[in-house]
Structure 1
C-alpha cells in the first residue's frame, strides 16, 4: 500500500509500516502529492477532472504537469454518474433512511405539548446518533414558525393548536437521508385537515408515478395539479423533490424545467410542502429507489397527519 502525504501531520506509524509493508511517500505541498498520485494511478496520463461537491471554484489548478479538464464538462460527467447508484450506495442510503425514521418515530412518540422545538430536535438528533447516524439538518418548527422553510429550532414551546413541521436528514457512511412529517398538537381543525389532505394528495400522486422513463417535469405537474384540485387552487412550487446521495440535494431536481427521465438505480425524494406565513406550514417527504419496474419506498413511517397530545 502506498500513501502520498504532504505537509505536517504526525502518526506513530512505524510498526504499521513494517508489518504491512506500507510505502509512505512524502511531499511538501498538496499539488505535488496529487500530481504524483494521479501519475501512478493513471499510468502516466496527466488530465484531471474535479467533482467539486462543495461548490465554488476548484481549490487547486496548478498541480505539476496536470491538465485540468473543463469544470463544466467534469461537473456534468460526475452529475450523471452520481445520479445512478450502485448496490453499495443503495445499501448506505437505505440504512440512512431507516435510522432517520427510527429517530423521528421515537421522537414523535414521546413528543408532548410544553416541549420546546430545541428539545424535540435534540431528541431526534440523539436518536440518530444512537442508530449510528450523524445528524445533518434537523428542522423542527411549530405554530406560525412552521411556515419557515429550512429554519432552525428555537426555545419556543409547542402548544395546543400548533402545526409541527419536521424535516430531518442524517448521514450514514457519507450518504444522506431526507424525511419530513407533519404533526398537530391536539385535535386539528378543518382548515388544517383540508390543507394537509390536499398536499398529501399531491405527494401520493407523484410518489405513485416514480418509475423508469417518467420525466421530472411530469412528476412536478402531477404533484402541483393534484394539490390544486384537492383543495389548494393557489398552490405553487419551484420543485417537488430531488435526487439523494452524498449530498442531501442531488441531480435531478424534480421541477417543471430541464426535464430528466428517471433511470433504474436513481434515488429520489418526493415532497409537496405548503407554507402560509402567519398560519403555518406542512409537508411529507419520502425517499424512493427507482427499480426496473417501478419504485421501492425507502421510507415507511406513517404518512398521515400525526397527533401530539395537547
Structure 2
C-alpha cells in the first residue's frame, strides 16, 4: 500500500475499527490517486485492517482507476446493478462477518447509504473517518507543495488577465469569460469555484454574483478565483480601482492590507490558529469597520478549496510546518463597495511563504 493508505489503516487499527467506507472524491483521491466524480452513482474505497483494500466505482471508470495506479481489487458495476450486494461479498471475503464499528465520512455520507450499510450488518456503530483523514491531509508533502505553488501561479495569471481586460463599459461576465478562456488555453479544465468578478457597489457583497454590470470610472473591482491543477486548488482575491479612487475607498483598502500583513507576520509554527484571525480582526475593528468583516480570516486549502482547518478566532490548534491555508480579510460596505485581499500561505520551518504572488499594493487601473 502507498504511505497514505498505510497510515490511514494504522489509524483505523488504533481506533479499533473493523473497516472504513470512504466515499468523497477528495478523500478517495488522497488515498488512491484516482479522481472520479461519480455524480449520483456510488464511489467507495473500503479499507480493512489486515486485509487488502478494495475500490468500488462505476464500471465505466474502472480503467481510469487502473491508469491512476490502483493495484488492488476493483468492483466496477453497471447502472442496473446494486453495488452494495458486491460490497457485502467483498467484505465477507475479507473476514468481515459481524462488524461492530465502521469509519465513515459523517459530514457528507448520505443517510440512504448509511441505511444500506446497516442492512448489510446489524448493530453497526459509526465513527468519524474525518478525524483521521483531516490530520493526515493537514500537512502537505513536497510533491503537494510544488503542485500548490504552480496552481497559485496560475491563479496569479488569472488576476493579471482580468486586470488587463478592464476597460470602460466592459461587463463583469465579459472579464470573467476572458480570464477562464485564457486559463483554459494553459490547460486548466476546472476552476476551484465559480470565478467572481465584481464591479463597484457589487464588490461590497462577499459572495456576489457576476452579471451584466458595466465598469465605470471610480469603481472598485474585486477578483476572486482559483484553479484545480493535478487535483489541488488555488484561491486568490485581489481588489483594484478603475480610473480613480476616493478617500473612503483608499482608507478601506489600506486597512485591509494592514490587516492581512498583521496576520501574515505571526504565521509560523506554534501560533494559535485563532490568533491569525484576531490579528486581522483587531486592525479592522480598531479602524471602525468591525461590523463589515463578517467572515473568518481563511480556510485550509489543498485537494479541496475549503478544507480542514477552519481559520476562525475560536480555533485553539497550533500552526505546523507544511500546513497550507488562506488569509483573506475584507471590508464590505453595502451599496458602496468592498475590498478583500487573499493569499494562499504555506507554513515553513521558521515562518511562512505566500504561494500567490500578484502584487497587493493599491493599483489604480487607467
Task: Output the TM-score relative to the length of structure 1.
Answer: 0.84
Q: Could you say which structure has the greater relative contact order, defined with CA pairs below 8 angstroms and 6 or more residues apart?
A: 1
Residues 68 and 230 of structure 1: CA distance in aligned 2, closer, same or farther (over 3 Å): same
Query: Is residue 2:197 matched to residue 1:140?
Result: yes
8 A contact 1:198–1:232 mirrored in 2: no
Alignment-derived partner of residue 167 in structure 2:
112
User: How do residues 80-159 of structure 1 correspond to structure 2 at under 5 angstroms?
Assistant: 80-133=135-188, 134-135=190-191, 136-159=193-216
Give 5+ residue unaligned stretches, structure 1. Answer: none
8 A contact 1:264–1:292 mirrored in 2: yes
Correspondence for 2:316 among 245, 259, 264: 259
SS at 1:70's partner residue? strand
Alignment-derived partner of residue 346 in structure 2:
289
Correspondence for 1:50 among 91, 104, 123: 104
Separation in 1, partners of 2:349, 2:61: 49
The offset of 1:158, in angstroms, is 0.7
Alignment-derived partner of residue 29 in structure 1:
82
The offset of 1:281, in angstroms, is 0.8
Separation in 2, partners of 1:66, 1:9: 32
Correspondence for 1:70 among 126, 147, 159: 126
SS at 1:192's partner residue? helix
The offset of 1:24, in angstroms, is 7.1
The offset of 1:56, in angstroms, is 5.3
Give 5+ residue unaligned stretches, structure 2. Answer: 1-52
Q: How large is the RMSD of aligned CA atoms in angstroms?
A: 3.1
Bigger drift between 79-88 and 139-148 goes to 79-88
The offset of 1:298, in angstroms, is 0.6
* 1:83-110 CA-partner distances (Å, limit 9, x unpaired): 2222332222222211111122122123
Task: Output the TM-score relative to the length of structure 2.
Answer: 0.72
* 1:43-98 CA-partner distances (Å, limit 9, x unpaired): 54666423467x35355233445986624x32222222222222332222222211
8 A contact 2:236–2:342 mirrored in 1: yes
Query: Is residue 2:260 matched to residue 1:207?
Result: no
8 A contact 1:6–1:33 mirrored in 2: no
Separation in 2, partners of 1:24, 1:228: 55
Bigger drift between 261-270 and 231-240 goes to 231-240
Residues 227 and 10 of structure 1: CA distance in aligned 2, closer, same or farther (over 3 Å): closer
Separation in 1, partners of 2:250, 2:74: 63
Q: How many residues align?
A: 297
Alignment-derived partner of residue 331 in structure 2:
274
